[in-house]
């Protein structure tokens, strides 16, 4: 418990003393007056501590978001520098075909980044774009078929985003460490006129498949996205969310 929380609860507990005095000697008006003043002072102390705690939490949250944004930008900057060096190297070696091939690869990657940013749910977009900064054991690949604007096609966009993030995290925390090659999770999003489908294709090993399945079931219970094939092996999981305006 933090310093402010402790002070807050001490202030609340201190009210018990004048309250007990008023109950014991109810006829003494000056005790009632003291109790009321004490109560107001304790309330002011509680409210002040609550505001300071809220301000501290807000500051910590902002700092955490800023740190995450800086880490993500640093990763992207590193990728851009590598791409520029490769392209520059091909140009210097006069390998035009290799230059064109690599530029097309960059263009494809940028198209994926653009599709991710169009999803329209900040929590999901930032999570996917910063995934490499939070996981070294799992590589996340994203395929979005067409333009999908979750915030425009359904009122449950935030809940759908949460289901996708929880499912990715279930895999991330279940990856078996030191299993040789890096595990890969491919997320494919598809939208038709009835529903949104999120397919997860996993290549790698899990520490405990049964625990992973229980975690998935718990997180998706009552969620906007429903599992379709959880009885199949963990290598493929399909979620479905009906589109509701």
Query: What six digits make up the tokens of 124?
Result: 């999901």
3-state secondary structure of 24: helix
Q: Say if residues 178 and 215 touch (Cβ distance below 8 Å).
A: no
Place of tokens 């140009």: 91
Instruction: For the chain, give the mean pLDDT.
Output: 83
Q: Which residues are within 8 A (CB) of 182 and not within 5 positions of it... i.e. 6 or more apart?
A: 137, 138, 139, 204
Q: What is the pLDDT of residue 78?
A: 81
Q: CA-CA distance, 123 to 162, in Å (whole number)?
A: 8
Q: Of 152, 154, 147, 168, whose CA–CA distance to 224 is shortest? A: 154
- The residue that leads in pLDDT, 6 or 77, is 77
Q: Specify which of 42-51, 69-78, 183-192 reaches the highest per-range mean pLDDT.
A: 183-192
pTM of the model: 0.71
Q: Of 178, 108, 97, 179, whose CA–CA distance to 141 is shortest? A: 108
Average pLDDT rounded to a whole number, residues 16-41: 74
Sequence-ordered strand ranges (E) for the chain: 138-144, 183-191, 195-203, 226-227, 236-242
Percent of residues, the chain, with pLDDT higher than 70? 89
Average pLDDT rounded to a whole number, residues 191-215: 88
């Amino acid at each position: 418990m933090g310093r402010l929380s402790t002070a807050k609860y001490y202030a609340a507990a201190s009210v018990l003393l004048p309250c007990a005095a008023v109950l014991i000697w109810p006829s003494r008006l000056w005790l009632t007056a003291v109790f009321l003043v004490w109560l107001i002072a304790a309330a002011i102390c509680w409210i002040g501590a609550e505001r300071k705690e809220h301000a501290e939490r807000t500051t910590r949250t902002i700092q955490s978001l800023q740190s995450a944004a800086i880490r993500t930008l640093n990763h992207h900057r590193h990728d851009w520098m590598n791409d520029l060096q490769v392209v520059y190297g091909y140009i210097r070696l006069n390998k035009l075909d290799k230059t064109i091939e690599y530029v097309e690869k960059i263009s494809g990657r940028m198209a994926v980044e653009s599709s991710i940013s169009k999803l329209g749910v900040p929590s999901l977009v930032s999570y996917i774009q910063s995934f490499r900064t939070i996981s070294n054991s799992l590589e996340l690949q994203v395929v979005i078929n067409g333009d999908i604007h979750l915030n425009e096609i359904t009122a449950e966009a935030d809940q759908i985003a949460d289901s996708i993030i929880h499912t990715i995290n279930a895999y991330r925390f279940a990856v078996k460490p030191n299993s040789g090659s890096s595990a890969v999770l491919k997320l494919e999003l598809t939208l038709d006129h009835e529903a949104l489908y999120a397919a997860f294709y996993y290549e790698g090993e899990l520490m405990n498949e049964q625990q992973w399945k229980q975690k998935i079931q718990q997180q998706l219970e009552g969620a906007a996205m429903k599992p379709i094939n959880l009885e199949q092996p963990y290598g493929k999981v399909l979620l479905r969310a009906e589109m509701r305006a």
